[in-house]
Amino acid sequence: MQLPATPPLDLTALFGGTRQRHWLEIGFGGGEHLVWQASHHPDVGLIGIEPFVNGVVSALGHIKTAGVANVRLWPEPAAALLDALPAGAFARVFVLFPDPWPKLRHHKRRFIQAANLDRLARLMAAGAELRVATDDPDYGHAILAGLLDHPGFAWLARRPADWRERPADWPPTRYEAKARAAGRNPMFLRFERRG
């Protein structure tokens, strides 16, 4: 995928005019979740962002095996693409198990922070869903605080199970399995883009 000389990127052209809804996954890891969503939602155009070559290669293998045609990959850091995408274009955004950058001096590298939440709010349509997962308690609290403070998002949780249990249409990832094997319980956060 190439960025246009003048944003925004034309998603209709990117998907050949065949997709009415678009979803975005930032940091798709090996692509398992991205391709699962693509195969279960063939009417949706999915864009996956992952700067690490091993993850991109893995995702390409999953795409080929599943035979899906509704995925586009951005194999670079997210910022340039996020700034080139059209406002209000996405009905769902996934940020699953982002790097927690646990050392205090590295917290500025965390993806979920004010500037990126502003970007996501711009990209998401009213009523769109943001799904975030983490197994790092410190980062989880920072994510929750940042999203609760942001005027563009409303938390969808109504009971503890709403953030302790993964929804049925959210397949497990290898990062979740790794966390559980290490005795860490992930947080599954769902937010709605306010209208």
CATH number for the domain that contains residue 137: 3.40.50.150
Respond yes or no: is residue 99 known to be catalytic: yes
For residue range 172-192, list pLDDT tens digits in order: 998 999 999 999 999 999 999
| 6 is a domain residue | no
| 5 is a domain residue | no
Residue 4 has pLDDT above 80, yes or no: no
**157-177 burial, b for 16+ CB within 10 Å, e for fewer?**
eeeeeebeeeeeebeebebbe
| 1 is a domain residue | no
| 10 is a domain residue | no
| 114 is a domain residue | yes
Burial class (CB in 10 A: 0-12, 13-18, 19+), 67: exposed
Catalytic residue among 10, 43, 83, 99: 99
- Alpha-carbon distances of 178 from 9, 76, 148, 172, 187, rounded to whole Å: 36, 25, 28, 11, 14
191: which 2 tokens? 């937010």
Residue 43 has pLDDT above 70, yes or no: yes
pTM (2 decimals)?
0.95
The domain tally of the chain equals 1
For residue range 77-105, list pLDDT tens digits in order: 999 999 999 999 999 999 999 998 889 89
Domain that holds residue 64: 18-193
